[in-house]
Amino acid sequence: MSQVELQPLGESVGYLLKQATTALHAAMEAALRPIGLTLSQYSCLELLSRVPDQSNADLARGAFVTPQSMNDVLKGLRDRGLVERPSAAPVGRALPTRITPKGQECVDQARVALAPVEQRLLSGVTDSDQKRLTADLFSIIRAFESA
């Protein structure tokens, strides 16, 4: 078995990405808490705001949760009147979900609450560095999508 050269954790890109993701997640959850949303709930509403009538599977993929977890998210959002789903699938088995006007108001509030988090995320990053960072992140995503 070959030896892998260990580098300090602080220089590991994977470790730093995880650390940044964890910090961002915590900041977003804190910003959403006063609105009464979790990050998964916000993600679901944001996705539906942009593309209505998505299935549970589509929403789960977009929000990076399991389909089972998305069922729970949708139930909570439906109970609060933020989304609606037909009782029977119009075609096939997938139940399309649609954001309600109340849900749209909620996602609009969440966008305002999250704007300072995005600003904080990019504070100290120049415009050109932000473009480079975005390109680098897309490259990382593509590398794992093609594997």
Which pLDDT belongs to residue 8? 86
Give the integer Cα–Cα distance in Å for 107 and 129: 29
Share of the chain above pLDDT 90, in %: 79
Q: How confident is the model at residue 64 (pLDDT cuts 50, 70, 90)?
A: very high
Domain regions of the chain by residue span = 12-120
Structure tokens at 96: 């399309």
How large is the average pLDDT for residues 129-144?
94
Could you tell me which of 73, 70, 99 has the C-alpha nearest to residue 85? Answer: 99
Residue 2 has pLDDT above 70, yes or no: no
* Residues 102-114: tens digit of each pLDDT: 999 999 999 999 9
Which pLDDT belongs to residue 1? 58
In Å, what is the CA distance from 98 to each residue of 29, 32, 46, 82?
Answer: 23, 21, 11, 9
* Residues 35-45: tens digit of each pLDDT: 999 999 999 99
- Buried b / exposed e across 5-44, counting CB within 10 Å, b at 16+? eeeeeeeeeeeeeeeeeeeeeebbeebbeeeebebbbbbb
Fold held by 12-120: Arc Repressor Mutant, subunit A (1.10.10)
Which pLDDT belongs to residue 99? 97
